[in-house]
Chain A
């Protein structure tokens, strides 16, 4: 496991300001979804019991149903775990020098990229949707000079404060790197 002070290619004097993850409500939504999926077979059990009495006494259908239910539970559990892994491993780190983007796009696709703060050109924060507004989470878009791709902090808490913080750090970094071409 990685220590919280560990960042790739740490520069001298570089300090970690914050590690960002998705808002807790996103993890709660995943939990809620899989809690519903886990309780579904119980509902189906009572439905079958009422609609097709004797189905659980049949020596052929009962084992098939039992295997089906166990397969369903195993698949639901492993997909919930995969969902958690891919969501939890998305981390955006802001340091005094740069922004480090660590994203897990599926189980076999991990992207690590970084952006020097003094190259930041534009920072946009967006809070869209009912729950995002209530729980104060949203996306922060960071556009860099010379790069077509944008950095996106997805569903992070307090996106406006984070955008302000990045702008402030960017101004400082620009002063420190005034002699370097952007």
Chain B
């Protein structure tokens, strides 16, 4: 059995899901309980913009990697 480094990619996808969910909770709170103010809207827009930049950049970079590289092989017991 060969475990590839794609496990790290799946781990990243899990973190991205958590990040999106938690971010949406925050935005919901700011929209429901926050005052209608410039600061409130600016922070929401800034957060969404920075999140989009990081996610877009990360997926562009991660797409260049060969995720089928073996991390661990049960036959050889070699890590890395």
Contact = CB atoms under 8 A, between A and B. Distances in A.
Interface string A54-95: 000001111110110011011101100110110011010000
Contacts of B31: 1
A88 B51 contact: no
A67 B11 contact: yes
User: Main SS of chain B's interface residues?
Assistant: helix
Interface stretch (A102-110, A123-131, A137-145, A151-159): A102-110
Cβ-closest 10 pairs across A and B: A1-B36, A70-B58, A74-B19, A67-B8, A63-B65, A85-B26, A67-B12, A71-B15, A78-B22, A81-B26
B62 A19 contact: no
B26 A1 contact: no
A89 B80 contact: no
Interface in B12-67: 12, 15-16, 19, 22-23, 25-26, 29-37, 39-40, 43, 47, 50-51, 54-55, 58, 61-62, 65-67
Interface residues of B, number: 38
- The SS class assigned to the A binding surface is helix
30 contacts: A1-B31, A1-B34, A1-B35, A2-B34, A3-B35, A59-B66, A62-B65, A63-B5, A63-B9, A63-B65, A63-B67, A63-B69, A64-B5, A66-B62, A66-B65, A67-B9, A71-B11, A78-B19, A78-B26, A81-B23, A82-B22, A88-B39, A88-B40, A89-B30, A91-B35, A102-B33, A104-B29, A107-B22, A107-B25, A110-B33
A107 B55 CA distance: 23
A10 to B, nearest CB: 16
B2 interface: no
A163 B31 CA distance: 31
Contacts of B47: 77, 81
A85 B32 CA distance: 12
Interface residues of A, number: 31
Contacts of A64: 5, 8
A74 B34 contact: no
Nearest to A102: B33
Contacts of A11: none
B40 A1 contact: yes
A89 B65 CA distance: 42
A3 B40 CA distance: 12
